[in-house]
Amino acid sequence: MALSRRSLMGLVIGTTAALAGCSSSSAGLPQGTVVIDVRTPAEYASGHLEGATNIDIEANTFSAKIAKLDKNAAYFVYCHSGNRAAQAITAMKAIGFTKLTNGMGIDAAAQTSGLKIVK
């Protein structure tokens, strides 16, 4: 499946500073896993997983932001349906990340992770 122009232009994610201290101790995720919501800020504001950091894959800063993250950390990435999470994971793998889990859509991610959806 080809990435849309919008998706390709949106390969820019959050910063290490934004993620500092954002880790999970939920029964569904390994200790220290960083939870990333790659939806838009408006989608994030409408409800997100507790403790998740919003790193919008559609923002033009996505690539620069993911480049600053710890490539050795574990990441649980989710979006609305799993498509943007998969795109983010592909971009992250391309620059050396290896501990990546696609949480799929927010409802599936909540169930898998054991984290609550909060506003």
- CATH numbers and ranges of domains, the chain: 5-118 (3.40.250.10)
| Confidence at residue 20, expressed as pLDDT on a 0 to 100 scale | 34
State pLDDT tens for residues 14-46: 322 233 334 444 458 999 999 999 999 999 999
Over residues 55-108, the pLDDT tens digits come to 999 999 999 999 999 999 999 999 999 999 999 999 999 999 999 999 999 999
DSSP string, 14-75: --HHHHTT--B--TTS-TTBEEEE-S-HHHHHT-EETT-EE--TTSTTHHHHHHTS-TTS-E
The reported pLDDT for the residue numbered 6 is 40
Active site residues: 79
